[in-house]
Amino acid sequence: MIFNQFIMTLKQIYRLYPKKVWMLTLITFIFIARKTLFNVAREVGNYATTVDSGTSLALLGISMSMIMIVQNSSKISRFSSKVFPFLAYYIFATLSFLWAGSVSTILFKGVEVLCSFIIVSLTIYYIRSLKQALLYIVLLATASTAMEMMNKIIKFGFSYFHTNAYTMVSMIALLLLLSAVKHKIFSFKEMKFLIFYNAFMLVIGTSSASYISFIIGLVILMSSQYKRGMNVGIVVFICIILYFIYSYFQDFIFELLFPGRSMEKIENGSGRKAIWEAAFKLWDENPLMGNGLIVGERRIVEYIGLAVISAHNSFISVLVNTGIVGMVIFMNFLFRWFLKVYRYLSTNRYALILLPAMVATIVNCNAFPAIGSDWNYVAPTVYALIAFAFIKIKKYEDNMGY
């Protein structure tokens, strides 16, 4: 009975979108599978070209992306200027091999991100309905979470669920769903399974960064009103209430947000403090242009002796990899992204729906570099948020973004 309902639901979802969307989605999930079910761990600093499941899927994804990009070049030209603020950073980062060396590694990593982003943007472009595009982002996030959960169960069983990755994806989906229900795009009844599923995944991931980011997003969600935009008074009122709650229940809240962590671990970000201090020392070697996409931040191991694959912070990753110049380009993208959504809060419900998830994502990037660093399976969901904002959001929601 339940299985039959599940199959029927899948068929209904399949009929919502044209075949072109599903072909593009397949490519996106080839990339996602490479970093979840078929992820291959390597030693930090080992960039030797090896034929394994991860590399094979990456090459397959890039090849299929290139074909789709060539075939749809005329369509891409219609929105490429809109999403260029984001593309500009990764184009610059990909060119960092000119001063950082490691040509093959930087080109490979840069092209992977660029291809993935363009494919996701093209997917959002092909979905004409704003409502269906929003649902697509939720489904993409939910499926990404499910794949990583399968990966963890296969590798670790049911004993290890802590992560700061799939909790971020679940947080995005949950905030979008709650916002969409509040602003009457979806009903709670039709979205209840997705709401409960993503809430459950957010909780069991035990990521303090995602918990805090979700609370911030929730405050923004509660403070938004259609045709009025953000109500600053409500934001202040909620913050005051939260402050008093925190003052009276500090120990309980600490245990809730930081389960099983000592005060020492909380204060140093579970080891991130040492990573960030090393990252700034590394940045000081080439402050203007950085040390190269990916290869820069992976040199952190030279300073702390610990094998870390990223700076665990989007902004520090950008600074270490591409220096001050890269940071200026990256901050320009964030400013334009935020401005694009903020300016239409009072006239477009979809801007209101996007804002809590967008802000929470940026906050969460201070602990997990979903953007600004190497490609990861969280990235496509964030790319979809970016594409939705730049391609779809207009002054009024009856404008489809073309």
Task: State pLDDT tens for residues 281-296.
Answer: 999 999 999 999 999 9
Is 137 part of any domain?
Answer: yes
Confidence of residue 50 (pLDDT cuts 50, 70, 90): low
Confidence of residue 118 (pLDDT cuts 50, 70, 90): very high
pTM above 0.95, yes or no: no
| Domain containing residue 297 | 2-159+268-392
Is 17 part of any domain?
Answer: yes
Start-to-end Cα distance in the chain: 42
Is 252 part of any domain?
Answer: no
The count of domains in the chain is 1
CA-based nearest residue to 111, from 103, 100, 122, 101: 103
Is 188 part of any domain?
Answer: no
Is 164 part of any domain?
Answer: no
Q: Give CA–CA dist 402/385, Å, rounded.
A: 17
Task: State pLDDT tens for residues 153-166.
Answer: 877 776 556 667 78
Q: What is the pLDDT of residue 35?
A: 84
Compute how many other C-beta atoms are within 10 angstroms of the C-beta atom of residue 101: 12
Q: Give CA–CA dist 171/208, Å, rounded.
A: 12
Is 262 part of any domain?
Answer: no
Q: What is the pLDDT of residue 240?
A: 73
Task: State pLDDT tens for residues 246-264.
Answer: 566 556 555 665 555 555 5
Q: What is the pLDDT of residue 244?
A: 65
**Choice between 322 and 243, residue whose per-residue pLDDT is larger:** 322
Statement: residue 47 has pLDDT above 50: no
Is 254 part of any domain?
Answer: no
Is 247 part of any domain?
Answer: no
CA-based nearest residue to 214, from 337, 109, 367, 77: 367
Statement: residue 25 has pLDDT above 70: yes
